[in-house]
Amino acid sequence: MNASPETALDWSDLDRRAVDTARVLAADAVQKVGNGHPGTAMSLAPAAYLLFQKVMRLDPADDQWLGRDRFVLSAGHSSLTQYIQLYLAGQGLELDDVAALRTYGSRTPGHPEYRHTKGIEMTTGPLGQGIASAVGMAYAGRKERGLLDPEAPAGQSPFDHHVFVIASDGDLQEGVSAEASSLAGTQELGNLVVIYDDNHISIEDDTNIAFTEDVLARYAAYGWHTQRVDWTNDGGQYVEDVDALHAAVQAAKAETGKPSIIALRTIIGWPSPNKQDTGAIHGSALGADEVRAVKEVLGFDPEKTFEVTDEVIAHTRGNVAERARAAHEEWDAAYAAWREKNTDAAALLDRLRERALPEGWTSALPTFEGGKAVSTRKASGEVLSALAGTLPELWGGSADLAGSNNTTMKGEESFLPEKRSTKMFPGNIYGRTLHFGIREHAMGSIVNGIAVHGLTRPYGGTFLVFSDYMRPAVRLAALMGAPSTFVWTHDSIGLGEDGPTHQPVEHLTALRAIPGLDVVRPADGAETAQAWRGILERTDRPAGIVLTRQDVPNPVRGDGAADGDTLASAEGVRRGAYVLAEAPGGSPDVILLASGSEVQLALAAREQLAAQDVAARVVSVPCMEWFDEQDDAYREEVLPAAVRARVSVEAGLAMSWRSLVGDAGRSVSLEHYGASGDYKVLYEKFGITAEAVVAAAQESI
């Protein structure tokens, strides 16, 4: 909602003093803790102040305001840039917090952390992630409008807002930002504004050694609106022309058909007399002498630290509060009018804000005919299509593998400007199917941006082996507790002929290693439906659902617990591991543990062992993390400590199974790379067979 007319910039002496105060605080804070990044926080203070005090719609009294603009500090190392503005704006941080920078337990850690500090919209620091996820936030803004208020004229919906980003040289060097920026151009994200701190300095000093490209020409090639504001006046007198920057920001906002980037040429660390324009000021404390020098240049008392006058703080907080009051009032009226006219959408919004699932939603989950083989990727596709009507918040796509990942809900349009429609994919700016191109990393970051923006539940798919390409985004999702869902198909040598470059071996282990990520590998159609259920029920953590390319049996199951030769229902999936088949006679000699496509091998081995009078229980383990959440009683029930003979079988490394099988146990696993060939041949050649499980069981007993 952008109804307020733009006015000329009011930039008083008090604003200038407030900006200089921000610089001095940055120098003091880093000096106090002895390490950190003062340079950008100093030279970029006018830009950040402009955004927080004069441009963005925000309300310190309502940090979850739906109408707020989003701010992402992609240059997360310059966390002070954001912390100091949050302090000046009265958004929850106080001077003591600024002084506690980078100390244990403070609200001002080295890099901004989502859900740790109020006002931080996402965790940043790993370069490129901020700008790439901001692209996702801009997607989310458009999508949410489409779900809730699609008919409103542009700029007139309470759901219209902007996403602002401050990005550094490092952000724009990282490939993930290139991937996401290209997509932002394709998507014509007019709600995205990036200020690029073009300061020619990174840790190795002058960027001429590694960053000589024409950045704005590159962004123009992506289809962005580009502007340059040069405070160095092409190497002449350094003048912080805030008016020029403000005009550029207004022009960027006015361009509604393209994302915008403003290259702001600054001198890092300005006005530090001796350390400006060096790599040293990027990432180290200035030293006591230089901090004094900065204060002297700026007319501050060099004997004082953390000096903020009452007048400055009253001005900055008063200004933000007044702007917030006016904006919120105007927005509240529009929002109330919208609610009144759109009762269904309002009810949907209320549910989405709670991240609640609709009552009875699980009845929409499909069932799979017992005895009929199906690949779990196909089953997953059926689950998604079946849920489409019930869960409008669920949307996603693939990194150019839609047909292989089965990520497209049937009959849904693509999230695309209409003019990008192709024969196969009709486009609609409010569509549901996402196309990331061959850009797994940006996919992960964009999905994260959508997830932390709120309201909707995004997913993104690729082959499991290419989870490596998106790993920094997956980790960040886990660190933030963002409900991103990653769909990873072609999950083992079972993909066959594409060979070792495409066959994951170590990936399940490597992903299980990420704290806070659920790795869910269902065994069949029934487990796939329950896997999605378990994932969607959890709203405070990401998950990866790991699926087969090849068909797997979908065995006939009973309705309850395993009993005799009747298999358990798949409900146990949501507990992470469960007894799928009881040992003949009920008292197991050995427990066979398996996940995904190898569960069938455990079941076959159980039968072969029965013929040898060995009673084997089969435990299906779709998600180790969910099993870890269960109480000791349930875990003991599934895996009685007294039964030390255990065998795990999974077409990947044994490492993550080691603690479940114990010293007496064995693992049927794959400890080396795969090969190109028919998958049945590969399973045989590499010894991942029921016979191998039987032999391992005999050894283990």
Catalytic site residues? 440
Question: Alpha-carbon distance 615 to 581, whole Å?
Answer: 11
Rg (CA), the chain: 28
Of 202 and 380, CB closest to a copy of itself: 202
Q: Is 212 helix (H, G, I), strand (E, B) or coil?
A: coil
Beta carbons of 91 and 118 less than 8 angstroms apart: yes
Smallest distance, Å, CB 604 to a copy of itself?
22
Smallest distance, Å, CB 596 to a copy of itself?
17
204 exposure class (CB count in 10 Å sphere: 0-12, 13-18, 19+): exposed
- The CA distances from residue 681 to 374, 496, 669, 675, 687, in Å, are 20, 9, 16, 10, 10
Q: Locate 241 and state its tokens.
A: 């022309």
3-state SS, one letter per residue, for 667-694: EECCCCCCCCCCHHHHHHHCCCCHHHHH
Of 293 and 446, CB closest to a copy of itself: 446
Orientation angle between helical segments 440-453 and 471-480, nearest 10 degrees: 20
Of 118 and 658, CB closest to a copy of itself: 658
Q: Is 227 helix (H, G, I), strand (E, B) or coil?
A: strand
Q: What angle do CA 522, 523, 527 make, to 5 degrees?
A: 60
Of 291 and 465, CB closest to a copy of itself: 465
Peptide bond into 271 cis (omega under 30): yes
Question: Alpha-carbon distance 392 to 457, whole Å?
Answer: 9
Beta carbons of 324 and 331 less than 8 angstroms apart: no
Of 50 and 120, CB closest to a copy of itself: 120
Question: Alpha-carbon distance 109 to 116, whole Å?
Answer: 9
Smallest distance, Å, CB 345 to a copy of itself?
28
Q: What angle do CA 113, 116, 120 make, to 5 degrees?
A: 55
Spatial CA neighbour of 276 closest among 261, 303, 304, 297: 297
Smallest distance, Å, CB 1 to a copy of itself?
29
Of 74 and 620, CB closest to a copy of itself: 74
DSSP 356-421: PPPTTGGGGS----TT--EEHHHHHHHHHHHHTTT-TTEEEEESS-HHHHT-PPTTPPEES-GGG-
Sign of CA dihedral 550, 556, 561, 566: negative
Beta carbons of 571 and 557 less than 8 angstroms apart: no
19 exposure class (CB count in 10 Å sphere: 0-12, 13-18, 19+): buried
Smallest distance, Å, CB 493 to a copy of itself?
11
Orientation angle between helical segments 215-222 and 175-187, nearest 10 degrees: 40
Smallest distance, Å, CB 541 to a copy of itself?
13
Smallest distance, Å, CB 323 to a copy of itself?
31
Q: Which amino acid is at 400?
A: D
Smallest distance, Å, CB 183 to a copy of itself?
7
Of 121 and 149, CB closest to a copy of itself: 121
Smallest distance, Å, CB 628 to a copy of itself?
10
Beta strands across the sheet bearing 578-581: 578-581, 616-620, 590-594, 646-649, 666-668
Smallest distance, Å, CB 61 to a copy of itself?
27
Spatial CA neighbour of 45 closest among 6, 10, 17: 17
Of 190 and 572, CB closest to a copy of itself: 190
Of 92 and 500, CB closest to a copy of itself: 500
Of 334 and 473, CB closest to a copy of itself: 473
